[in-house]
Amino acid sequence: MTLTIGLLLGLSFFASLLALAFLIWAVNNRQLTITQHDAYTIFTEGEAGHPDDATTEGSQDEGGAARAHHFDTERAGIDAISRPAVVTLISSGIAWLAIGSIFGLIASLKLHWPDWLVGEAWLTFGRVRTLHLNMVIYGWLSMTGIGVAMWVAPRIFHTALRYPKLPIIGAILWNVGVAAGAIAIASGWNDGQEWLEIPWQIDILIAIAGSFFVLPLLATAARRHVKHIYVTGWYYIAALCWFPILFFIANIPYIYSGVQEATVNWWFAHNVLGLWLTPLGVGAAYYFIPKIIGKPIYSYSLSLLGFWALALFYSQVGIHHLIGGPVPTWVVTLSIVHSVMMFVPVIAVAINHHVTVARNLWALKASVPLRFISLGAVMYTLASFQGSIEALRSVNSVTHFTQYTVAHAHLGAYGFVSFVMFGAVYHMLPRITGRSWPWPSMIPAHFWLVVVGFAIYFIGLTIGGVLQGFAMLDVARPFSDSVQVVLPYLEIRSLGGAVMVVGHLIFAAHFLAALIQRDAQAPAAQPHDTRSAVST
């Protein structure tokens, strides 16, 4: 058993070291030169210094049409090629968000209304909560993140998306896989591992669907019309290459059991956040923050340090969830060390994102999408710091098996990744459709609903989780006390969750209205643009 675990962790660690060694070799041999000028790759000539946000006042004409930014005509051909795939992916993601949020609210209410909806097996807490998790992770976050990547990647590579029909096929297969997985879970058929509940027979479909996204992205990167790959491209390429490997290894049937199964489970569960969702979120933030502000990130060299440090340190982080379990001590200790070392990439990302925004606070007032994305970046910093501290044995002994862990997971997956995706969609859609958002006042309404709702949710569960942990550690108190002490905070959780769900439904309705506007006309592709290089 120890040998199997060692081989698994050693392989992923060796891969990270190999990647870092390649970077060092490339720099030393001048195969890779990193300068602040590379941060301007996302801008076309004359664009830097001009804010870019179609949701702000004055960004549309009297007829309501979104006023095209001066560089849009050059990129119209690029955007038009990727538009069908992007719309399919993001529309699917938002649909899963709306459905998954409702199941999440039901699960939350059932924690303090245990006798509610008990007549049907598929509405029991175990199935409803699992439906929520898989719909928002594999439906909302994954599909929207891939959609954003398919829109951003051609822009930073300055060339049209290659094989643009493949992502559409992939989106269809991915939707079928998530839907089939949801039906299986609701009927009581699942693999019984957190974040891996969808039966492996159905997971094969999702794995196949993933290949339809990897090929177009790699082909587009290979045929790019810029010498340098902007840091967002590194994050996207890595995410779409890491995820199939993680997903395949974790879903191999009949070879893991007992402690091995638990180890692989948490190796995957944490890596799907850190090596899949995190690169999608951080990569998007690295593109949209400077793009909206109109100025490059603070330190481009630091951005690449953050990426490679993530690749080096994150793969072993998840095993700290098994502190106190029958797992070899060296495995847990390695995980704790890597968790603490995650301060390196997080600080690098934090400096770039937060300093860039802090130097341009005027943009936060002007742009609601930037508020979403910059707040999501702050949540990434907080969630990562909290995770590193939570991995310490002294802290973990209090927070483990409590609602504190639930709050922490939502700070990363929701506060960070979802907020970035909200902002990205608000920025992208006017360029995808050629029209402004139909109800501009709904954008700040959505922002404040999810911010206030999540604040209630997170603070309530964090306080309740700490009290719950201390109650469980007190040998003089019965276990029932740990249940009673957290009950008021579970009610607070439901209140915050309900406010968030209202925001999600407004977001979904607004997105649908923007797509079906009768007079919406997306910019037409210009033949010479689909292969043209955009000069920098």
pLDDT in tens, 276-286: 999 999 999 99
Where is mean pLDDT largest: 7-16, 56-65, 305-314, 450-459? 450-459
Residue 267 inside a domain? The answer is yes
Residue 327 inside a domain? The answer is yes
Contact of 171 with 114, CB cutoff 8 Å: no
List the structure tokens of 334. Answer: 């390695």
Question: Distance between CA atoms of 368 and 447, rounded to whole angstroms?
Answer: 8
pLDDT value at 93 more than 90:
yes
pLDDT at site 401: 93
Interval 189-198 mean pLDDT: 94
Q: Which residues contact 116 (CB under 8 A, 6 or more apart)?
A: 109, 110
> Checking phi first, is residue 324 left (phi over 0); if not, alpha (psi -120 to 50) or beta?
left
Q: Count the Cβ atoms, other than its own, within 10 Å of residue 24.
A: 11
pLDDT at site 275: 96
Interval 29-50 mean pLDDT: 70
Interval 355-364 mean pLDDT: 95
pLDDT value at 22 more than 80:
no
Question: Distance between CA atoms of 226 and 230, rounded to whole angstroms?
Answer: 9
Look at residue 60 and give its three-state secondary structure.
strand
* pLDDT, the chain, mean: 88
Q: Interior CA angle at 99 toward 465 and 404, to 5°?
A: 10
Contact of 77 with 534, CB cutoff 8 Å: no
pLDDT value at 524 more than 50:
no
pLDDT at site 9: 56
Residue 65 inside a domain? The answer is no
C-alpha distances out from residue 503 to 133, 414, 449, Å: 18, 13, 5
Q: Which residues pair with 85 in a beta bridge?
A: none
pLDDT value at 347 more than 80:
yes
Residue 34 inside a domain? The answer is no
List the structure tokens of 117. Answer: 């909806």
Q: Which residues pair with 66 in a beta bridge?
A: 60
Number of domains in the chain: 1
| Dihedral angle sign, alpha carbons of residues 220, 296, 422, 63 | negative
Question: Distance between CA atoms of 44 and 411, rounded to whole angstroms?
Answer: 35
AA identity, residue 304: L
CA atoms within 13 A on the CB side of 267: 30
Question: Distance between CA atoms of 227 and 38, rounded to whole angstroms?
Answer: 10
Question: Distance between CA atoms of 206 and 200, rounded to whole angstroms?
Answer: 10
pLDDT at site 30: 44
Q: Residues 370-420: pLDDT tens digits?
A: 999 999 999 999 999 999 999 999 999 999 999 999 999 999 999 999 999
Q: Residues 214-248: pLDDT tens digits?
A: 999 999 999 998 888 999 999 999 999 999 999 99
Question: Distance between CA atoms of 201 and 188, rounded to whole angstroms?
Answer: 15
pLDDT at site 31: 45
198-202, 334-338, 450-454, 500-504: lowest mean pLDDT where? 334-338
CATH code (residue 419): 1.20.210.10
Q: Count the Cβ atoms, other than its own, within 10 Å of residue 271.
A: 26
Residue 44 confidence class, pLDDT cut points 50, 70, 90: confident
Residue 534 confidence class, pLDDT cut points 50, 70, 90: very low
Residue 209 inside a domain? The answer is yes
Domain assignment of residue 431, given as a range: 74-532
Interval 421-430 mean pLDDT: 96
330-344, 480-494, 507-521: lowest mean pLDDT where? 507-521
Contact of 353 with 374, CB cutoff 8 Å: yes
Q: What is the pTM assigned to this prediction?
A: 0.91
Residue 15 confidence class, pLDDT cut points 50, 70, 90: low
pLDDT at site 340: 93
Question: Distance between CA atoms of 271 and 246, rounded to whole angstroms?
Answer: 8
CA atoms within 13 A on the CB side of 49: 2
Residue 24 inside a domain? The answer is no
Q: Which residue's structure tokens are 């698994």?
A: 8
Share of the chain above pLDDT 90, in %: 76
